[in-house]
Amino acid sequence: MYVRTAAVAGLFYPADPTALQKALAGYLAVGRVQCTPPRALIVPHAGYIYSAPTAACGYATLVGSHYSRVVLVGPAHRVATPAIAVPSCHLFRTPLGDIPVADVIQELLIRFDGVETDDVVHAPEHSLEVQLPFLQVVLSSFELVPLCVGDVDPVLLAQVLESLWDEGTLFVISSDLSHYHASDEAVRRDHASIARILAGSHLMHTQACGATGINAMLLLAARHRLQARLLDYRHSGDTAGDMERVVGYASIAFEGGLEDA
């Protein structure tokens, strides 16, 4: 059985299971916000020291909820691809255990020309991996649909996501916001980007590395009458000290739409 092993454990987050569990519990304890169980989340994907406090505000909304499947969408950072890359593996492994990959991936490969199997894209990618320990802690069990997105039309990605829409599926869009501006400029840019997301307006890739996933989610949100709500915003200067060259992070929940499931 082919397993995608963790690529950034010990770099982006603790490799030791006990230390990882303790870190996640701490982030989630202070990340609690009042929120109905979401249909989708936008969460950041940097090293935990930088972005986990913001990510936790999204994942804390899942505590006590049940989803049988998680569709995880993240941008390809390490290996370029013109497609929506899916893995051939059966399991994704983290220090907290193994997560089964959903068989529905085979249906996506048959149905959509822009979906391709590419383990080379998935092997080093952190944008999906850093979300998995959070999901393992807040959800008891689930199947994973890992989509690593390259240079594709968000309309195509939205069609893929729509084919997976049901009441038991959670959509997680992995994205950071602005990169490497001074704090004041980053806050200005990121607040404008967040306002666009909350209004249902699409982003450019200069505004968010995961703009394709965000824009696809906005298409689904409009179709299913979901309401976007900001849970948390901060940047790496808030969490790691350097205020001259920061990366922006937001957690946004999409709520409602149950009548369309």
Using an 8 Å Cβ cutoff, are 193 and 100 in contact?
A: no
Task: For the chain, give the mean pLDDT.
Answer: 96
Answer yes or no: pTM beyond 0.95.
yes
Q: Is the pLDDT of residue 260 over 60?
A: no
Please compute the mean of the pLDDT values over residues 75-100 and round it to a whole number. 98
Residue whose C-alpha is closest to residue 150's, from 44, 55, 76: 76
In terms of C-beta distances under 8 Å and separation of at least 24 residues, what long-range contacts does 204-210 make, across chains too?
207/177, 207/178, 208/175, 208/176, 208/177, 208/178, 209/75, 209/77, 209/127, 209/175, 209/176, 209/179, 210/42, 210/45, 210/73, 210/74, 210/75, 210/127, 210/149, 210/173, 210/174, 210/175, 210/176
- Residue type (1 letter), 87: P
Residue 201 burial (CB < 10 Å; 0-12/13-18/19+)? exposed
Structure token digits, residue 58:
């999204």
The highest-level CATH class for domain 3-114+127-168+191-205+213-239 is alpha beta
Q: What is the pLDDT of residues 31-51, one digit of tens each?
A: 777 778 999 999 999 999 999
Q: How far is CA 51 from the centre of its chain?
A: 12
Q: Which pLDDT does position 140 carry in this prediction?
A: 82
What percent of the chain stands above pLDDT 90? 93
Q: Which pLDDT does position 258 carry in this prediction?
A: 54
Q: Which pLDDT does position 241 carry in this prediction?
A: 72
Residue whose C-alpha is closest to residue 108's, from 173, 151, 156: 156
* SS3 at position 187: helix
Instruction: State the first-to-last Cα distance of the chain, in angstroms, to the nearest integer.
Output: 33
Q: What is the pLDDT of residues 237-253, one digit of tens each?
A: 999 879 999 999 999 99
Q: Residue 190 — very low, low, confident or very high, per pLDDT cuts 50/70/90?
A: very high
Q: How many CB atoms lie within 10 A of CB 240?
A: 15
Would you list the DSSP string of 94-142? ETTEEEEBPTHHHHHHHH-TTEEE-HHHHTT-HHHHTTHHHHHHHSS--
Using an 8 Å Cβ cutoff, are 248 and 176 in contact?
A: yes
Q: How many CB atoms lie within 10 A of CB 78?
A: 14
Q: Which pLDDT does position 35 carry in this prediction?
A: 74
Q: Which pLDDT does position 261 carry in this prediction?
A: 41
Q: What is the pLDDT of residues 93-131, one digit of tens each?
A: 999 999 999 999 999 999 999 999 999 999 999 999 999
Q: Which pLDDT does position 216 carry in this prediction?
A: 99
Q: Residue 1 — very low, low, confident or very high, per pLDDT cuts 50/70/90?
A: confident
Residue 209 burial (CB < 10 Å; 0-12/13-18/19+)? buried
